Structure 1
Amino acid sequence: MSNDVEFLIIGGGAMGSATALSLAQLGHEVLLLERFEPGHLNGASHGTTRNFNPAYARPEYLRLLQRANILWDELSTQAGTELLHRTGLVNHGIVAEQRHMHQVLASAGFSSELLGIEEAEERFSGMRFETEVLHIPAGGQINADATVAALQRLAAEAGASIRHSQQVTGFEVLSEDQVAVAVRTTQGEQRVLARHVVLTAGAWTRQLGGSLPLPAIHVTEEHPVHFALRAEPGNFPGFNHSLHSGRDIGSPVFGPVYGMHTPGAGIKVGWHGSGRIIDPEQRPHLVIEDQLVALQQYAQRWLPGVNPQDFAAISCTYANTEDEDFILDRLGPVTVGAGFSGHGFKFVPAIGEHLAQLASGRTAPIPAFSAARTIGAPVFLERRAQAGLA
């Protein structure tokens, strides 16, 4: 029995699209199947802004970040449009963490500076601070919608076949170099044989890869909001605010806060990983009222540049591992990229490159991202328990 295609990618979000581009540029035959239509809102790769935050201390992430930092600019050049807008990014809330990160970033080749409260508020007038601030000029915002479109266009130009409205309903490993993939299309059911499958299905990873030895993945529905600006944003960076759930800040704390300027929509602000755990097939699309009110209270205290009463809620999904580390592994003729836990988008081109190299046998898995790793600290569950989240 012969294969229909060399590499079949399941899932056409940012990670699958980046993998398709990398494999096609390596000269491989690539078929990418995406369940939904282009530009859909069902997963985690839609919208116009994601923070590019280089503040990672662990070497596994730093190596990916260093590569992603280069590849974002290269990808923008290839696409003919700016995908990463470097507005700078500020992190604040825990002084010891910011000072340590300042040292780590210097050793990794990222410039950063520590700012006092007065200087930070003068420079970033739309924000308020209570601690020293870490400013990272290389940070900024990534246009998610434009990124997925550019990756798929460039992949197609490199020879990949990109097909939407093609739902993979399952797959079966037949041998070390053959996987049978069941596909549902508008024309009916069909079976495609691939030498190798790359599973980048986001919230649907466990559903499709149930036969694979994967760690737990908890899918949450998140509801950040766009607050209207009171005036021109001026110098409004991306930001991350570390907050302990036991703190009294004038409102409940449901987790760390992130935010960024979304041109035309306002300032996007959200609690990290605080949404309901859901089945992606039965997504409720329901805002959690007390979390929304707490975001308004947060904005009232910390973001004088926005109007807390004028906002629009949006929705996306996180696919969370219990330690919030990624799954980047090769399991026989199946390579898995999953569990990005709400912080993966900044790494997209580097992860696509890595998954392509894993799938084609050019590199070995990174132990920290192994599907078989032992999860010692279930950060995701512990943080939610401390915040009183089910």
Structure 2
Amino acid sequence: MSVEQLDVAVIGAGAMGAATAWHLARAGKEVAVFEQFEPGHVRGASHGASRNFNVAYVEPSYLAWLRDAEVLWRELEAEADRPLLTTTGIVTHGPGVDHVATSAAISAGGFAAEVLDPSEAAARWPGLRFDGPVLHNAGAGRVDANASVAAFLSGAARAGAQMRWNSAVSDIEVRGDDDVRFSVTDAEGCRRVRARRLVCTAGAWTAKTLGGVAGVTLPALRVTQEQPAHFRPVDGAPHWPGFNHHPAASDPATSWFLAPVYGMLTPGQGVKAGWHAAGPETDPDRRSFLPDRELTAALVRYAAEWIPGVDAAAFAEITCTYTSTVDARFVLDRMGPIVVGAGFSGHGFKFTPVVGRTLAALAAG
């Protein structure tokens, strides 16, 4: 049986795989992207219209990546000729964060930051309730996830990348430092492929895809089903920033929270809010896609207590997967001819163009 020959194969056409292919193709590399499902599917973590471009980090390395990411998002916007990153500002509140120290770190990292008292914040953003200091990052914003993935893939294709949809990869075998073989099953049957490099950005399927491959060691990756919801605003006029709300066990008003809360306005759909990494573990091939009732009830309670600008009884839920590491750090590694990008832990999307650049460099180098 003949074996197809490739330079770089990318497994997974979600955000990270799409961005990796974009960087590789624009650098003149021969690249083919293998996606087991159809374009724009909703089984993973990259679908939907909104993600926070949140800059409320204290680690200098994350902030440096965010500076680069903002430049690359604007570059992708210009290439795609459509808006992708919208500056809305983001507010962070709750007793689980040292707002003054975080503000100082963000400012040192090159982004605007200010700490407001709750009355001033409430006057600016009446759709949200605050009961303590509020960290405001005016330069933060919202990324259109669906449009961004499409833009990366379109840009990669224009630069010569091949897109292989409904093409499942299995039976990966490392033969040498520049030789990795795998099987591809699609509508035409099953065939073997040889590549110099294989980049795995398979999201919730990472462990399934690479499990048992000689020379590949992964940290523990926990896959959960998460379920944010869009709530109907009661007034279409107020300006909505993105928001993050961090509880503390010692605070009676937030000690009942299941996890930190994040949210933003999704134009045309409502105000999105969700628990961060509070969902149950799941098998990505056996998901029910049905929201957990207890998580739903808690989120409705949160909206009723903390988002006065929405109707807490009028909402539509969506489900997605998180693939998380123990410390929420990303897996960006190369083992022989295999490059791995995984474990983006519910906060990786804003970094997508930088992650793609890093994985492309690992594959090229």
Q: Distance in 2 between matches of 1:18 and 1:269?
A: 26
Displacement of 1:102: 0.8
Match of 1:343 in 2: 347
Q: Distance in 2 between matches of 1:213 and 1:61?
A: 25
Residues 118-133 of structure 1: matches in 2 within 5 Å? 118-133=119-134
Displacement of 1:96: 5.5
Match of 1:370 in 2: none
1:222 aligns with 2:226: yes
CA contact (8 A) 2:201 2:342 kept: yes
1:357 aligns with 2:358: no
What amino acid is aligned across from residue 162 of structure 2 in structure 1? Answer: S
Match of 2:304 in 1: 300
CA contact (8 A) 2:249 2:255 kept: no
Equivalent of 1:264 in 265, 268, 282: 268
CA contact (8 A) 2:333 2:339 kept: yes
Q: Distance in 1 between matches of 2:237 and 2:361?
A: 41
Change in Cα spacing, 1:170 to 1:249, as seen in structure 2 (3 Å) is farther
Structure 1 residues 2-11 or 208-217, which shifts more? 2-11
CA contact (8 A) 1:95 1:131 kept: no
Q: How many residues align?
A: 361
Equivalent of 2:322 in 318, 323, 327: 318
Deviations 1:150-189 (A, max 9, x none): 1100000011111111111231111100100111101111
Match of 1:366 in 2: none
Q: Distance in 2 between matches of 1:112 and 1:95?
A: 18
Q: Distance in 2 between matches of 1:267 and 1:282?
A: 29
Partner secondary structure for residue 277 of structure 1: coil
Displacement of 1:3: 6.7
Match of 2:169 in 1: 168
Please list every run of at least 4 consecutive aligned residues from structure 1 whose deviation after the TM superposition is greater than 3 angstroms.
245-248
Q: Distance in 2 between matches of 1:25 and 1:233?
A: 42
What amino acid is aligned across from residue 298 of structure 2 in structure 1? Answer: A
Q: Distance in 1 between matches of 2:258 and 2:88?
A: 27
Match of 2:65 in 1: 64
Match of 1:93 in 2: 94
State TM-score, norm by structure 2: 0.96
What amino acid is aligned across from residue 319 of structure 2 in structure 1? Answer: S
1:151 aligns with 2:155: no
Displacement of 1:325: 0.7
Q: Which consecutive residues of structure 2, in runs of 5 or more, have no partner in the other structure?
A: none
Displacement of 1:106: 1.2
Structure 1 residues 59-68 or 74-83, which shifts more? 59-68
Match of 1:239 in 2: 243
CA contact (8 A) 1:245 1:254 kept: no
Deviations 1:41-94 (A, max 9, x none): 000000000000011111332221111011111111111001011111010113
Q: Distance in 1 between matches of 2:300 and 2:146?
A: 27
Q: Which consecutive residues of structure 1, in runs of 5 or more, have no partner in the other structure?
A: 362-390
Deviations 1:253-282 (A, max 9, x none): 110000000111111110000111011111
Displacement of 1:114: 1.0
Partner secondary structure for residue 98 of structure 2: helix
Change in Cα spacing, 1:177 to 1:72, as seen in structure 2 (3 Å) is same
RMSD after superposition: 1.5
Equivalent of 1:288 in 276, 286, 292: 292
Match of 1:373 in 2: none
State TM-score, norm by structure 1: 0.90
Q: Distance in 1 between matches of 2:237 and 2:13?
A: 34
CA contact (8 A) 1:244 1:256 kept: no
What amino acid is aligned across from residue 285 of structure 2 in structure 1? Answer: E
CA contact (8 A) 1:237 1:260 kept: yes
Q: Distance in 2 between matches of 1:58 and 1:332?
A: 30
Equivalent of 1:334 in 335, 338, 344: 338
